[in-house]
Chain A
Amino acid sequence: MKHDPDSEPDAEPGAPSAGGPGAPRGGGRAALARWVARRLLLAVVVVLGAATVTFGALRLTPGDPVKVMVGISAAQNPEIVEQARHETGFDRPLAVQYADFLGDLARGDLGWSYQLQESVPTVIGDNLWPTVSLTLAGFALAFLIAVPLAVATAGRRPAWRALSSLLELVTVSIPGFWVGLLLLTFFSFRLHLFPATGGTGLSGLVLPAVTLALGLVGLFTQILRDGMARALDEPFALSARARGTGETAVRLRHALRHALIAISTISGWTVGALLTGAVVVETVFGRPGLGRVLATAIQNRDFPVVTGITIVSGALFTLITLGVDLLYRVVDPRLREAPA
């Protein structure tokens, strides 16, 4: 197949390719550093955008946050409300409030939670680790189950593949709270293997992580199997087999890596979404976590907490995306020369 002259990195048979033998490896590293720096700068813009949208959205929604803050009895007294409004700065023009908000943000001051009567960084700090550990454990578990399933069934063993597909469909369709309740009933109440609620230790992590993982296994297996089946149909898989490479090696050494490109995309999104979206599992198992805190804070118009969690999860999300993009470049050498 012919290529465009500008897409063909090495037009002349003997000529050194651009960025190839002539270019020292350090040049690639400097380019990578520039790329990361640019992406980090972009990340700051994204976080700022998320903060601004939250700031605007909370002030546009109905309900008076000052009345919520002072409590129902005190809210009957206009004097107290006005005083509180003045103290919290809610009586000043929106532009000034926004400027103050950005100023606080720049100093790392995320404010004080009206409801929890704690500083927002403390609230987030207390709840971040349970969420992160749950997310990572669920994700890793799903990944560890999905990879062998996909490797074993991609493009062969139709009966196993059909069975696996059926189970995937079931796990994807069943709501998480239902799986959670089933697991609780069986493993906690009947067998007493794991604690039913609370328990931030390892044993408390098992059931919630399994619940999360079951929802993801189906998705991951399907994407991996699809990517592997496609890679196994490619001529390079035939080349590898024609070299005498065994079937398992062809799958692990060649096809799996191609499938990982597809799974990276969905992984970044999944981990990011779970950070604040694991609220159902957190609620069922009575676990502390960002999702639960966020849901409560939204109900109670606890502005500083909502804003703080949005900013933190926005920052985490952009960092994860950056990590995924870096992962692409590790997995796929063709992307290493592509401009950011």
Chain B
Amino acid sequence: MPDDDRLLAVEDLRVGFGTVAAVRGVDLDLRPGECLAVVGESGSGKSATARALVGLSGGTVRARRMELAGRDLTALRDREWRAVRGGRIGLVLQDALSALDPLRTVGAEITETLANHRTVERSARRARAVSLLGQVRVPEPEIRARQHPHQLSGGLRQRALIASAIAADPPLLIADEPTTALDVTVAAQILNLLAERKAAGTAILLISHDLAVVARLADRIAVMHAGVLVEEGTPGELLRAPAHPYTRELLAAIPAAHARGTRLSVRAAEGAPAADGGCGYAARCPLATDRCRTEPPARVAVGDGHHARCWRTDAEWPAPPARTARTRDTADTAADTVIEARDLAKAFRGPDGAQRPAVAGVSFTLRAGRTLGIVGESGSGKSTTAHLVMGLLEPDAGTVALLGRPWSHRPEAERRALRPRLQLVQQDPLASFDPRYTVERIIGEGLGHPGRRAARANRDAIAALLRRVGLDDALLDRRPQELSGGQRQRVAVARALAPEPAVLVCDEPVSALDVSVQAQILDLLTDLQDDLGVALLFISHDLGVVHHMSDDVLVMRDGAVVESGPVQDVFDNPSHPYTRALLTALPSIDAAARPVALDRPADA
């Protein structure tokens, strides 16, 4: 490869935090106008890599070579780093609500970049900030520049954050999970915006945990695991013919249509720490041999510009186990109705004092052992519907019946006896647990015995519940902060299962998780449903997840159901334009593997 046209050249990058090696020898090349995607689960070292490139990793960084446009980044002094940050390399973080200072206007954040790099005269900064907002397609940029992050929607915030990163026109833009917190349609718009920057000649380093998201934009994809790039190639090559088992795991974890009825996760086990010397993936790999555990795999070519670090690239890959226990009979209406919701309506008073309907005329029936998916973007009324069903909010109109008995508009004393039959799993288990409780007490609370001593007395029952959700009893005395995201969500499921519910309401249960962990949780929920016959009310903004999980589906928009029916009918023959729009925006591997439409994305 000729060196001269490379904008970014990194060889053998290593980042360590204390004794932990987060990045263990990474090579990166990036040319102007090119997009390289680094994909991996949380903890794989992808963010540490991104931050090391701007000198903000917070750890010890070593590299044989780290050059930006021929300039050595390994020997920069503080002042020189400041000129690089924002000036030569822009960084966009996930979730602009926390990545923009909540106390400052978005205009001030953009102006900060302009001032740091003396991009324009002081007097012209405000005007430039407004024009930058316009450039990233923020409507009414004059007004938005004076607003604070909390006053903007997620998509507009992310655009404002991008505007602040590109204000000094850096030739390299690093986007670290730029679309992870966003709805599909908004995420598609942000990706289009990045594609525009790319077309204009900016090099983009895109960091994500989701192969499907990056597939559309990336010219090359590098899959990262345990601090090592395990596979690199063009999207076409890598997605069509994955060579590394971890890439296969990531691909299988995408709950797309073809994976329906199959398991998503390779294996429920959490990854064991990588042994020194061996392949970091060996502990999880179904193909691992003794050689994998002792000798680090060499980088081998498996196709045109397609490399993998694996000893077993030529091994036969085992077919994913099909799910046989489950018979999804769509005509099965004999099962008992567990929840009957009729014409639910709920309005909230807005900040301006006017009543705004959050839910209007929602009706559905949920039968025992089945899954009803509710899908929609944020603000569509999904969560309000869940709260109405849970009896946490009273509907303004309409009724909910639980197990054939009236549930809404009943005094809480009357409802209490039925409460154990209806349980909730929330998006963020860390926030839904008392941080001072141990796992034992968290689940003990679900059993109705929250006290420390009562939980101790029920230790056997609690340990059984833990095993039921695929966790070891060794976790009993841990606290929520000491668990991984996947373990936490398993504990949340165990707590919800403790009182033997008839219905589990899952409100975005996997939205905060990586695809591979998400796959494990989705498999867990399906297994539990098969074994226990519990009905699921499954709420998500992710159509792929809802498609994979549900028997029936409601598509919600602005508080109303725009389409409903058996999941296959709705997804294969969407009748409402909104459903069609959502399905089009859904990132998909199939679409990316097609060579067309890779370079020229549709206009925003």
Contacts and interface: CB of A to CB of B under 8 A. Distances in A.
**Is the pairing of A and B real?**
yes
Interface of A: 1-6, 8-21, 23, 234-236, 238-247, 253-254, 257-258, 331-334, 337
B186 A9 contact: no
Interface in B354-386: 358, 378-384
A238 B358 contact: no
B152 A10 contact: yes
A5 B113 CA distance: 33
Give the one of A1, A17, A20, A21 with max B CB within 10 A.
A1
Interface in B368-409: 378-384
Contacts of B97: 1
Contacts of B161: 239
A5 B382 CA distance: 8
Interface string B420-459: 0000000110000000000000000000000000000000
Given A1-B97, A18-B351, A239-B100, 20 more contacts: A1-B427, A1-B512, A4-B383, A6-B384, A11-B378, A12-B379, A13-B153, A13-B185, A19-B151, A236-B99, A238-B93, A241-B56, A242-B85, A242-B86, A243-B86, A243-B167, A245-B112, A245-B116, A253-B104, A257-B103
Q: Which 8 pairs of residues, A with B, have the shortest CB-CB distance?
A: A11-B379, A242-B91, A244-B86, A21-B143, A243-B86, A244-B116, A10-B153, A244-B85
30 contacts: A1-B512, A2-B378, A2-B508, A4-B383, A5-B382, A8-B378, A9-B151, A10-B156, A13-B156, A14-B139, A18-B351, A21-B143, A21-B147, A23-B352, A234-B98, A235-B98, A236-B100, A239-B161, A239-B164, A240-B101, A242-B56, A242-B85, A242-B86, A243-B167, A244-B83, A244-B85, A254-B103, A254-B104, A333-B148, A334-B148
A243 B113 contact: yes
B117 interface: yes
B153 A8 contact: yes
A254 B381 CA distance: 35
A325 B39 CA distance: 46
B513 interface: no
Nearest to A4: B383
Contact of B103 (A2, A12, A235, A331): A331
B384 A238 contact: no
Contacts of A6: 348, 358, 384
Contacts of B94: 235
Contacts of B91: 238-239, 242
Contact of A5 (B83, B99, B103, B379): B379
Nearest to A8: B379
A235 B180 CA distance: 15
A2 B427 contact: yes
Contacts of B82: 244-246
Contacts of B84: 244
A2 B184 CA distance: 12
B317 to A, nearest CB: 35
B117 to A, nearest CB: 6
Nearest to A11: B379
Interface residues of B, number: 69
A2 B383 contact: yes
A334 B480 CA distance: 29
Contacts of B511: 1-2
Contacts of A245: 82, 86, 112, 116
Give the one of B99, B109, B168 with max A CB within 10 A.
B99
The SS class assigned to the A binding surface is: loop
B541 interface: yes
A187 B150 CA distance: 53
B498 interface: no
Interface in B70-94: 78, 82-87, 89-91, 93-94
A6 to B, nearest CB: 4
B174 to A, nearest CB: 8
Interface in B9-40: none
B165 interface: yes
A319 B271 CA distance: 58
A24 B293 CA distance: 66
A200 B51 CA distance: 58
Contacts of B98: 234-236
B56 A238 contact: yes
B83 A17 contact: no
Nearest to B385: A5
Contacts of A258: 103
B54 interface: yes
B103 A333 contact: yes
A13 B116 contact: no
B231 to A, nearest CB: 28
A5 B381 contact: yes
Contacts of A8: 153, 378-379
A200 B28 CA distance: 71
A253 B112 contact: yes
B155 interface: yes
Contacts of B181: 1-2
A35 B91 CA distance: 41
B286 interface: no
B153 A236 contact: no
B189 interface: yes
B197 to A, nearest CB: 16
A241 B57 CA distance: 11
A331 B380 CA distance: 32
Contact of A244 (B113, B151, B153): B113
A6 B378 CA distance: 10
A8 B90 CA distance: 28
B273 interface: no
Interface in B54-73: 54, 56
B102 interface: yes
Contact of A17 (B109, B152, B155, B541): B152
Nearest to B95: A1
Nearest to B152: A10
Contacts of A243: 85-86, 109, 112-113, 116, 164-165, 167
Nearest to A13: B155
Contacts of B86: 242-245
A23 B354 CA distance: 13
B112 A235 contact: no
B358 A5 contact: yes
B201 to A, nearest CB: 21
B140 interface: yes
Contact of B54 (A11, A234, A242, A333): A242
